[in-house]
Structures are given as C-alpha cells and as structure tokens.
Structure 1
Amino acid sequence: MRQTTGARCSDNNLSLNVEKTKEIVVDFRRVHTQHVPLTINGATVERVSSTKFLGVHITEDLSWTDNTTALAKKSQQRLCFLCKLRRARAPPPIMYTFYRGTIESILTSCITVWYGACNASCQKTLQRIVRAAEKIIGVSLPSLQDIYGIRLTRKALCIAGDPTHPSHNFFSLLPSGRRLQSLQARTSRLKDSFIHQSAGPGLETPQSPP
C-alpha cells in the first residue's frame, strides 16, 4: 500500500500536498524492522512520532496521553468563562448550555475513537473537569463514561444497519446466530478497540490459527 499511494491518488484524480502529509509508523513487534521512507511522486514524506488529525492527537504508540493533555488544557481555559457567568449570576440553564457547547463538545470530540483506549489516569483527568463544571453550575452533569457508552452504541447501530460501511462485516452474526463476529488477534491489545467494546459482553471472539 505504501508503494501504491501515489498511483491510487492518480487513479482517483486526487492530488496530495507532500509538504502537509505526514507518516506515522505503528509497529508493536518485538523486533523492529527498518522501514523504507514513504515517497509520493518522488518526494519523501516526513515521518513523525505524533500528529494531529481532525482535532485528535495520534502518536506512534497509540497512547492517548498527548490527546488528553490537549483536551484538558483547552477545556480548562473555558472553565474561566463559566466562572464569569456564575459571577454575573447567569441562571443554571444558561450556564449548562454554555458548558454543553464550549466544554463538553471539546471533551467528547471523537470520543468513540480514543476514550475506550485511554488509561485510567487520562480518564480521571478529563472527568475532573466535568466535576469542576458541576460545582460551578450547581447541577449534575453526565459523566464522560456515560456519554461514551451512548455514542458507542449509536455508532455501532449505524454501522450494523449500513451494509456499505467498511466495518459492517464486523457486526455480522456468527453461524450460531447469537453472537457477533469479532476481530482476530494473538494479543489482548484489541480488547479496547471500538469493535470489541461496541459489541458488548455477548461478544464471541474466534481464536487465531497457531
């Protein structure tokens, strides 16, 4: 796929800006191999250890610490404005609407992608911001875990009901007719993936061949 990137773009009438294109190598093998630099139309693509894509910080080790730090910093800045609304004696419904639009929207941006794979420390860091907003507004706010569960289920139902979606087959029933098909893996790393978590406790995981 690396060697055919330029050809695929040409075939689909797409033009890539190599200067704005980044390459991340995700390799969890015990013995790392030297990867040949990616080239597009003769130009070498810059290889980075982390990048920002659609507002989400992605790193080569697929940890979400950088993403959590960025979300927390941005959300905490907006807590100051929430405090100003309280000092101005704004009613709770107004402050709640402000929270939903300027803080919760940041904390839950692309949450189905990264929240399930976050470690406990990252999740607590973000949840502390929600608790701080609760104290300022004076009303109970939905936890990030609850929001994640709702959006995860909604996304899974959309994929399961769309035969044209690339991940639709992962939500197909096994021959038993009672359980869903799952990703095959030799490790437990995929247990935090979107497919595994959205399928729920009734998931049956086929074993990989030896």
Structure 2
Amino acid sequence: MLSPLLYSLFMHDCVATHSSNTIVKFADDTTVIGLITGDDEKAYREEVRALTSWCQYRKRQGVEHAPLSINETTVERVSSFKFLGVHISDDLTWTHHTDSIRKSARQQLFVLRRLRKLHMDSRILCNFYRCTIESILTGCITAWYGSCTALNRKALQRVVKSAQHITRTALPSMEDLYTQRCRKKSSRIIKDPFHPSHNIFCLLPSGRRYRSIRARTTRLREAIRLLNSSELQ
C-alpha cells in the first residue's frame, strides 16, 4: 500500500504544460503524447524539455534535502527514529530495530533466570516470558518481520531458544508468532468494512479462498496465503 502512495506524492506535479499534450505516468515507463497539428511540433518539443528539466530537478532533490527549521531552530537529521515502538531507519531496513528489541529482550532473560533460581513454577515463568520478552519481540511484528533478513530472524530466534531453555517449556517460534499475528490482523481487516485495506481481501467465486493480489512486496501476498491455508484447515 505504501508504494502507490509514495509514487502519487512524488509524481503529483509531473503534468503536461500544454493542452495538446498528455503525460502518461506508470512507474518507470513515462510517456509523452502530443497532438501535432499542421506540422507544428513546438508544443510537443517544449513538453519534452519541460519533462527533462523536471526529472533533473527531482534528481538533484534526492541528493540533499533542505534543512527543516522550527522557530528558527534547525531540526537535527538522524539515521533512525522511534515511532510507536518501532525503529525506522533512513535506509528502510530493520537491522537497527531487531538489534534494539533483541537487546531489550535479553535484558529480561536475566529476570527470568532469577525467577527460576527462586524455584518458581513453570507456568509463572511462561507467563512472565509472554508478558515481557514475547511482547518486546512481537511489537508490530506484522509490519517488519516479513522484511527482515535471515540473519536478523536467527538473532531473534536465539532469544526465544534461551527463554525456552530457562523455562524448560516449548515456546512458539518467531515464525509461528508472525504467522498467528498475520492471520489475526487479516481477520480484523476483513471484518472491518471501514479499514483502508478492507477491499484488498476479495473472495474467489468458490467463496472459500481469497484472491491473491499483485504486489512488489511479499507482505500482502503472504497474509493472503496464510489466510487461505487457515481456511482450508
């Protein structure tokens, strides 16, 4: 859903300057169509030059952004920031976020070990794990886990394995937790007709499975695949 929105924001001012011309925009395949009357190509050629200037201006803009000021104070530019508990990096990767939650979760393992030394019941240990460690590891998991690298996922899974060793109880893996949260999230969207993504989930004529969609990212396709697999069970 983010890609079409960003494309619209970046391309909204790329419009034809002459009424006889039309600019057809589609991803990286932009076409200039002009109506040439009486062999007069002036308007069409000016349109091509204007589009070239627009592209060059956009290219320069992408190199360096003008500083943002609030009350004559320049806002510091950072490589990442925390939004609703999720660390968003300027390179749109999740390494910084996974590293952060992994460190926070490992700190709670110390408390879990202390509880075990006090001979707490395994149910208490598991409840503590779910309320603290698992909640840290799964915060907004449907938004970032699907785009994590294999290295990031293994690092998070090692925390789960350490907790499993301490509690001496089988605990759901990160992959299982991600699958469960995706199914719950998809079900809530389907039941809410006012949700912006409600129309994405469209049933096939059979009425049992949902139609797969074309998307550059795998997150939406994965959600529909999980939803279809749960419907068949």
TM-score (normalizing by structure 1): 0.70
Match of 2:164 among 123, 131, 134: 134
Offset of residue 38 of structure 1: 7.5
Distance in 2 separating the partners of 1:173 and 1:130: 36
Aligned residues: 170
Give the aligned residue type for 2:62.
T
Q: Which residue is equivalent to 1:180?
A: 211
Give the aligned residue type for 1:198.
A
> 1:1-210 residue pairs with structure 2 within 5 A?
33-34=62-63, 36-37=65-66, 46-173=76-203, 179-180=210-211, 182-185=213-216, 190-191=217-218, 193=219, 195-200=220-225
Offset of residue 94 of structure 1: 0.9
Give the direction of change, closer, same or farther, for the CA distance of 1:181–1:170 in structure 2 (3 Å limit): farther
The answer to whether the Cα contact below 8 Å between 1:170 and 1:181 also exists between their aligned partners in 2 is no
Cα deviation 1:75-101 (Å, max 9, x = unaligned): 111101111111111111111111111
Cα deviation 1:86-145 (Å, max 9, x = unaligned): 111111111111111111110111111111111111111011111111111111111111
User: Any unmatched runs of 5+ in structure 1?
Assistant: 3-29, 204-210
Offset of residue 64 of structure 1: 0.8
Higher helix share: 2
Distance in 2 separating the partners of 1:201 and 1:98: 29
Greater RCO between the two (CA within 8 Å, min separation 6)?
A: 1
**Secondary structure of the structure 2 residue equivalent to 1:33:** helix
Offset of residue 179 of structure 1: 4.7
Runs of 4+ in 1 over 4 A off after TM superposition: 38-46, 173-179
TM-score (normalizing by structure 2): 0.63
Query: Highest CA radius of gyration, 1 or 2?
Result: 2
Q: Which residue is equivalent to 1:19?
A: none
User: Any unmatched runs of 5+ in structure 2?
Assistant: 1-8, 11-58, 229-233
The answer to whether the Cα contact below 8 Å between 1:112 and 1:151 also exists between their aligned partners in 2 is yes
